[in-house]
Amino acid sequence: MFYRVSVSFHKDYVKITNDIIEVGIMEKPVKGKANTAIIKQIAKHLGISKSKIRIVAGEKSQDKIIEVLQ
């Protein structure tokens, strides 16, 4: 399943509405650390492994598309 992800910084939350995920992270967007934190946060919220989530588009943007494998 594909989700659109909107990222906020300096906050710590996950909100899922239909196919849109709003996620807040505390990591700075340096050398992929923010993307790793996003995947970790979403995986924890959904109760699945981090390896089941991948960023399909928007790796260098605050608006991303992720795929969650079942």
Q: What is the mean pLDDT of residues 41-68?
A: 95
CATH number at residue 57: 3.30.1200.10
Q: 10-45: per-residue pLDDT in tens?
A: 999 999 999 999 999 999 889 989 999 999 999 999
**What residue numbers bound the domain in which 17 lies?**
2-68
Report the domain count for the chain. Answer: 1
At residue 61, what are phi and psi to the nearest 5 degrees?
Answer: -130, 160
Stated pTM of the model: 0.90
* pLDDT of residue 49 exceeding 90: yes
CA distance linking residue 32 with residue 54, whole number of Å: 13
